[in-house]
């Protein structure tokens, strides 16, 4: 297949591009390199040294003989360029990662809120609009988030996108219907993914676009089979307070002797998936497109759930790291249960990599290898969700005075 990977230079976009190229597909990356600019804005860098996208694709060609093409296009701002590229290339499938994906970054200031909404919503809408205008029947796979469901404390399993409800008619009968699971975002970033869902619903219904939305949990890990092949194919690895995700952050904190930064009581339960499984799921979704005219296909792309404090305690036991119980900069339920259905990927053959499979040691090794690149002052999470809980977190540039509050 000819596949366009929008956002193919990012944390999941890059390993997905390699995985699909390795599987024999003709891969074309479209990316505005915004993630690299945000690193510059924040004054942080990936833990792993990343080459330019041109160099990465050159190495991939040298290693495998396969070409991955790169196009510098901003989906949100260059509609005509995007349309021209799609018209000339007419891909069979499009994988859409081209959105600002960090919740803390999206909450930093009014400017960051505007940027995240403008970028994410325009990118998605431009893409859908162009597909219709060009009468292009490409299967669109979007990377969504488990966060669209919210984290209620109700102990019922979250279904895959649609919720069966009984509605009483005027004649007193109860009819059952499936509705999109009610959106309950916890950040501006998560809110954009909820809005994306409405765009998908409309374009599938009105124009018959074939769309799959993947509600993904928190990704951990860094390497995949293909990124391990050459040191210059390495994936990016974020550890900072805005882009680093919780499990990867704890592992790197343990590796550099920094107390594990648990927000609040650590009672938040979240869904997780290893990066290798994430790219496998995308390939499975690619092989199983919805029919034209069908409703949006939704998969829960996660393999296990964990409570934040359990992760911290497990890593502390494993490595001897201290735990710092910090005031939570986010507005989120302090404790929640989470049960998630993921039968669809399991039925398609996904055999998950779990925390027990031992890949956590690999991350600690990567972190130790590149520990010299870590700026400890960028480890604490300081983006606050509301003005009244603006940074009360006690940290200094050396990151040594984190106080335990329990």
Inter-residue contact 255 to 284 (CB < 8 Å): no
Here the contacts of 203-209 (C-beta below 8 Å, separation 24 or greater) are: 203/128, 203/131, 203/132, 204/294, 204/295, 204/296, 205/295, 207/131, 207/132, 208/292, 208/293, 209/128, 209/131, 209/132, 209/140
Cα Rg, the chain, nearest whole Å: 21
Question: Which residues does the annotation mark as catalytic?
Answer: 145, 189, 193
Among 280, 330, 344, 395, binds ligand USQ (CB under 6 A): 330
- The least distance separating ligand USQ from the CB of residue 220, rounded to whole angstroms, comes to 9
Smallest distance from ligand USQ to CB 163, Å: 18
Closest contact distance (angstroms) between CB of 218 and ligand USQ is 4
Binding of residue 103 to ligand USQ (CB under 6 A):
yes
Does 367 contact ligand USQ by CB under 6 A? no
Longest CA–CA separation in the chain, Å? 71
Phi, psi of 219 (to 5 degrees): -85, 140
- Number of residues in contact with ligand USQ under rule CB under 6 A: 23
Task: Give 57 or 197: the residue with its C-beta nearer to ligand USQ.
Answer: 197
Q: Is 45 in the site for ligand USQ (CB under 6 A)?
A: no
Rounded Cα distance between 328 and 264, Å, is 5
Count other C-beta atoms under 10 Å from residue 398's C-beta. Answer: 8
Pinpoint the alpha helices (H) of 43-170.
53-64, 79-89, 103-106, 110-133
* Binding characters for ligand USQ, 282-321, by CB under 6 A (x = yes): --------------------------x-------------
> x/- contact string, 240-269, with ligand USQ (CB under 6 A)?
-----xx--x-----------xxx--x-x-
**Which residue in the shown chain puts its C-beta closest to ligand USQ?**
147
CB of residue 145 vs ligand USQ: minimum separation in angstroms?
A: 3
Nearest to 381 by CA among 244, 268, 180: 244
Q: Which one of residues 271, 315, 353, 360 is an interface residue with ligand USQ (CB under 6 A)?
A: 271
Q: How far is the CB of 245 from ligand USQ (least distance, A)?
A: 4
Identify residues 142-161 at the interface with ligand USQ (CB under 6 A): 145-147
Q: Does 102 bind ligand USQ (CB under 6 A)?
A: yes
Length of the chain equals: 406
Nearest CA-CA partner of 144 in 186, 92, 101, 108: 101
Instruction: Assess 218 for contact with ligand USQ (CB under 6 A).
Output: yes
Tokens of 28: 């074309």
Instruction: Show the CA angle centred on residue 303, arms to residues 190 and 333, nearest 5°.
Output: 40
Of residues 56, 210, 270, 376, which one binds ligand USQ by CB under 6 A? Answer: 270
Would you give the DSSP letter of residue 160? Answer: S
> 231 — phi, psi (to 5°)?
-65, -25
**Taking the complex as a whole, how short is the minimal distance between the CB of residue 268 and ligand USQ, in angstroms?**
4
What is the closest distance, in whole angstroms, from the C-beta atom of residue 200 to ligand USQ in the complex?
16
Segment interacting with ligand USQ (CB under 6 A) among 68-76, 87-95, 324-332, 385-393: 324-332
Q: For residues 45 and 116, which CB has a smaller minimum distance to ligand USQ in the complex?
A: 116
Spatial separation of the C-alpha atoms in residues 68 and 87, rounded to whole Å? 19
Q: Which of residues 373-402 bind ligand USQ (CB under 6 A)?
A: 381
| Choice between 18 and 379, CB closer to ligand USQ | 379
26 vs 335, beta carbon nearer ligand USQ: 335
Rounded to the nearest 10 degrees, the angle between the axes of helix 79-89 and helix 110-133 is 40
List residues near ligand USQ by CB under 6 A. 101-103, 145-147, 217-218, 245-246, 249, 261-263, 266, 268, 270-271, 308, 328, 330, 332, 381
């Amino acid at each position: 297949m000819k596949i366009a990977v929008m956002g193919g230079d990012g944390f999941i976009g890059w390993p997905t591009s390699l995985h699909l190229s390795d599987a024999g597909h003709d891969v074309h990356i479209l990316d505005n390199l915004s993630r690299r600019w945000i690193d510059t804005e924040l004054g942080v860098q990936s833990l792993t040294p990343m080459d330019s996208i041109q160099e990465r694709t050159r190495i991939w060609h040298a290693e495998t003989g396969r070409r991955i093409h790169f196009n510098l296009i901003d989906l949100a701002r260059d509609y005509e360029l995007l349309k021209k590229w799609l018209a000339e290339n007419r891909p069979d499938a499009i994988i859409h990662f081209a959105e600002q994906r960090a919740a803390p970054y999206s909450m930093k200031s009014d400017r960051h809120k505007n940027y995240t909404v403008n970028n994410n919503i325009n990118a998605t809408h431009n893409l859908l609009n162009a597909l219709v205008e060009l009468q292009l029947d490409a299967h669109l796979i979007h990377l969504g988030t488990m966060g669209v469901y919210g984290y209620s404390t109700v102990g019922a399993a979250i279904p895959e996108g649609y919720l069966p409800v009984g509605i009483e008619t005027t004649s007193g009968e109860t009819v059952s219907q499936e509705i999109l699971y009610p959106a309950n975002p916890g950040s501006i970033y998560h809110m954009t993914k909820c809005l994306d869902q409405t765009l998908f619903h409309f374009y599938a219904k009105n124009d018959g676009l074939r769309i799959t939305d993947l509600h993904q949990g928190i990704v951990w890990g860094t390497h995949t089979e293909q990124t391990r092949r050459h040191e210059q194919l390495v994936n990016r690895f974020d550890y900072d307070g805005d882009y680093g995700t919780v499990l990867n952050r704890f592992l790197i904190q343990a590796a550099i002797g920094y107390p594990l930064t648990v927000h609040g009581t650590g009672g938040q339960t979240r869904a997780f998936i290893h990066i290798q499984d994430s790219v496998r799921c995308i390939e499975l979704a690619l092989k199983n497109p919805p029919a034209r005219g069908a409703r949006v296909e939704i998969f829960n792309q996660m393999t296990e759930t964990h409570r934040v404090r359990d992760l911290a305690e497990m890593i502390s036991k494993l490595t001897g790291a201290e735990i710092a119980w910090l005031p939570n900069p986010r507005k989120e339920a302090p404790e929640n249960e989470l049960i998630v259905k993921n039968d669809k990927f399991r039925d398609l053959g996904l055999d998950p990599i779990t925390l027990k499979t031992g890949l956590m040691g690999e991350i600690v090794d990567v972190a130790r290898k590149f520990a010299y690149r870590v700026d400890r002052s960028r480890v604490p999470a300081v983006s606050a969700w509301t003005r009244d809980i603006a940074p009360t977190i006690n940290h200094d540039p050396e990151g040594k005075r984190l106080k335990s509050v329990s």
